[in-house]
Structure 1
Amino acid sequence: MTKKLAFEALDRTLCDIMDSVFDRKKNLSFGGKVVVLGGDFKQVLPIIPKGSRVEVVMASINSSVLWKYCKVLRLTKDMRLASGLEQSTAQELRSFLDWILQISECQYGIVINDKLSVDISSILIILVLQNPVEDIINTIYPNLVQNFHNPSFFQDKAILSPTVENVEEINNYMVDLLPGEEKNYPSANLICGSDAYSNVDIDWINVEFLNQIRCSGLPNHSLKLKIGVPIILLRNIDPAGGTNEIGADVVFGSNIWHKVFITRMNLIPSDTIIPFKFQYRQFLVSLSFAMTINKSQCQTLSIVGLFLHRPVFSHGQHYVALFRVRNRNGLKILLCDEGLIDSIRTENVAFKEVFDKI
């Protein structure tokens, strides 16, 4: 979800534009223009690095001064139930969707040690036999080695996890399982010269140090790929020609089976924790056998495996993960958190106060 500051900036921009044309509209919200916003407060809220619960809620659009000018319209017809399903199938789907909505609104579960815990049906549970990573891979991607050359095998399925660390562990494990030559694509990083960073001694910042820096939204320094593996774009880009390209087939979305070529791009990370600016050049893609829950927002999948090595940690993550799948038969959950009281219960995070102004 976009922060309220972005909408307030748009409001001021439109007011300035309309002020130069129609003086009487300068005091109207968004310059008198009708603006349609779409979103779901049950999903992940704006990301505030190291922010408190209050800061996250206050960053949402319904905490903005503009919210009083908004008219809220609600969707009332569930299109998943309007597709001519048999009565028994429709009832099962309705029960599943009601369960997800109850979780999103904190109406399902019990409070244990000041934390809301929800029970997971045994039908959805993946039993941990030996290696949790291997168990969820065998469930979501059965016969992986035999099928990975078929692009349609990876359509509409993914393993989701709250943390980047678990996602990378699963992706690396899976790419190592596959046959074929492995290619590593290293990034090219360099310091941006600027007098603004005169208080930083850049002489001690070598290439090895730059390669170890991790920033949100950027791939690792070394991108490990094999022919046939699925990848996901980390930026909305218009791929252009170049001397160093990765060829890919689109297997999900409106341009399915279109061939694309993805080039390396130059980026300057804006992470305020880093006391200097540096340029990062890399293919802005990552393996997509598994992805973070936040990254999966707005996608609809047929098969989803939820890997919870630890419980979700922010508002809406549990709801987003469960709602990615079309029906209950396509959802499997693996719980392997040693801190859990039992093997069928996990924690849920939802900020009830964010719904107060809707």
Structure 2
Amino acid sequence: MRLAVQTEDPDVQAEAGAFGRWVLSIGNGTIPAMARQGESDPTWISIPSEHLVHTDGPKIPAIVDVVYVDFLQRYSDPNYLKERAILTPTNDLAMDINDHVLSLVPGEEREYLSCDSTGNSADEARNIDVFYPTEVLNTIKVNNFPYHKLVLKKGVPIMLLRNISQAAGLCNGTRLIVTRLAEKLIEAVVMAGSNIGDIVYIPRICLTVRDPKWPFTLHRRQFPIRISYAMTVNKSQGQTLAAVGLYLKTPVFTHGQFYVAVSRVTSKKALQILIENEDGTCGSETRNIVFSEIFESLANK
């Protein structure tokens, strides 16, 4: 956990301790949970009201307003941007949030399109270009892989999706802020880590990915980055943040995912959660998935 208490006030310390125990109970699976109708496993937990965001209007603007306070005055401030993020279970939802926040940033945008092609196709998959034209390849979205269309503005925070130079601190997960958009390079400043403040240049690179359901390997030449106002919970691992908004349009879907999200914060007040029910209303219950067999096997070793 990343909780930090910078005072000797016993009340503040007690509050941080209670919050820390709540977070640990989520990770250990000991928090009280219940099963909904038709379910055998109790996975649904109640979230304290102090962490909940409620709105009768659009959900994305609501969670953005809570996390990115005074955004238009500080949208290009690295110290402001590096300490906050909105987390979601899925890439598609993170992309929707990033698109919304990008629309709020002043200035002209620049669009970068990837060059997609196929390779190493199976022998039986003939006429691969007929069945998988470039237009189809452009629509493919893969986890931890850049999209075909990348839209950026100066002052936008981005995250690297590949290791480029460990010596320069350009590793998978590094967050930067865009300072200049050229045709073949993106200039950015490192926002955190041992190389904070360094000016770096990110080139387009050729990336490959293969999926069992495809009879080919996808080759995509694109900048290995993604806008990082919002990111998936899995991608947030390793991040320490002073303001976290967790938008659960759908519940988490794998072991420990909810714990990872709530344990990114440095204080209790830094965590805000918006839970969207199936009917579009804001709720107070969500799913916490913990495979207790993992802890049991570790205890028996």
- The TM-score normalised by the length of structure 2 is 0.86
Residue of structure 1 in register with 2:173 after alignment = none
- Kindly indicate whether residue 217 of structure 2 is the aligned counterpart of residue 277 of structure 1: yes
Tell me the equivalent position of 1:102: 25
Which protein has the larger Cα radius of gyration, Structure 1 or Structure 2?
1
Once the two structures are superposed, the pairs formed by residues 204-223 of structure 1 within 5 Å of their partners are: 204=130, 205-223=132-150
- SS in structure 2 at match of 1:110: coil
Q: Structure 1 stretch 269-278 or stretch 338-347: which is displaced more?
A: 338-347
- Name the amino acid aligned to 2:126: V
RCO comparison, higher one (Cα < 8 Å, 6+): 2
Determine the structure 1 residue equivalent to 2:178.
none
Distance in 2, matches of 1:199 and 1:183, equals 37
User: Is 1:234–2:133 an aligned residue pair?
Assistant: no
CA contact (8 A) 2:3 2:20 kept: no
Q: Secondary structure at the match of 1:200?
A: coil
- 1:66 corresponds to: none
Cα distance between partner residues in 2 of 1:178 and 1:79: 30
Name the SS for the 1:98 alignment partner.
helix
Find the aligned partners of 1:134 and 1:177 in 2 and give their Cα distance. 11
C-alpha deviations, 1:42-92, integer Å up to 9, x for none? Answer: xxxxxxxxxxxxxxxxxxxxxxxxxxxxxxxxxxxx884686643222111
Contact 1:125-1:344 at 8 Å conserved across structures: yes
Q: Would you say 1:312 and 2:238 are equivalent positions?
A: no
Q: Distance in 1 between matches of 2:5 and 2:269?
A: 18
Residue by residue, what CA displacement relative to the aligned partner does 1:6-57 show, whole Å, maximum 9, x if unpaired? Answer: xxxxxxxxxxxxxxxxxxxxxxxxxxxxxxxxxxxxxxxxxxxxxxxxxxxx
**1:51 maps to what in 2?**
none
**Distance verdict in 2 for CA 1:326–1:338, change over 3 Å:** same
Query: For the residues of structure 1 that align with 2:273 and 2:99, how far apart are their CA atoms?
Result: 20
CA contact (8 A) 1:200 1:275 kept: no
2:17 aligned with 1:86, yes or no? no
Could you report, residue by residue, the CA deviation over 1:69-122 in whole angstroms, capped at 9, with x for unpaired residues? xxxxxxxxx884686643222111110010011112221122122342111111
The structure-2 alpha-carbon separation of the partners of 1:133 and 1:312, relative to structure 1 and needing over 3 Å to count, comes to same
Match of 1:116 in 2: 43
**Aligned CA distance change for structure 1 residues 342 and 263 (closer, same or farther; 3 Å):** closer
Give the conservation status (yes or no) of the 8 Å contact 1:175–1:229: yes
Residue type matched to 1:88 in 2?
D
Is this contact kept in 2: 1:215–1:271, CA < 8 A? no
Question: CA–CA distance in 2 between the matches of 1:196 and 1:311?
Answer: 37
User: Residue 195 of structure 1: CA displacement?
Assistant: 7.0
Structure 2 residue aligned with 1:167: 94
Contact between 2:125 and 2:215, CA under 8 Å: does it hold in 1?
A: no
Given that 1:200 and 1:276 are in contact with CA atoms closer than 8 Å, whether structure 2 keeps it comes out as: no
Asked if residue 201 in structure 1 is aligned to residue 201 in structure 2, the reply is no
Cα drift, residue 235 of structure 1: 1.2
Residue 228 to residue 174, structure 1, CA distance change in 2 (3 Å): same
SS of the counterpart of 1:176?
helix
Q: How does 1:15-164 map to 2 (within 5 A)?
A: 80=3, 85-113=8-36, 114=39, 115-164=42-91
CA distance in structure 1 between the partners assigned to 2:280 and 2:114 by the alignment? 39
Letter in 2 for 1:200: R
Note the alpha carbon deviations across 1:135-171, whole angstroms, 9 max, x for none: 0111100221222122222021100011111101100
Q: Percent identity?
A: 35
What residue in structure 1 maps to residue 151 of structure 2? 224
| Count of residue correspondences | 279
Name stretches of at least 5 consecutive residues in structure 1 with no aligned partner: 1-77
2:157, 2:228 within 8 Å by CA — same for their partners in 1?
yes
- Which amino acid in structure 2 is aligned with residue 285 of structure 1? I
RMSD: 2.3
2:218 & 2:56 partners in 1: Cα distance?
Answer: 45
Matches within 5 A, 1:237-256: 237-238=164-165, 244-256=184-196
Amino acid at match of 1:324: R
Aligned to 2:293: 353
Alignment partner of 2:238: what SS?
coil
Corresponding residue for 1:44? none
Picking from 271, 290, 313, the partner of 2:230 is 290
Change in CA separation of 1:195 and 1:329 when aligned onto 2, cut-off 3 Å: closer
In structure 2, the CA distance between the partners of 1:196 and 1:232, relative to structure 1 (3 Å rule), is same
Larger fraction in helix: 1
Q: What secondary structure is seen at the aligned counterpart in 2 of 1:93?
A: helix
SS at 1:135's partner residue?
helix
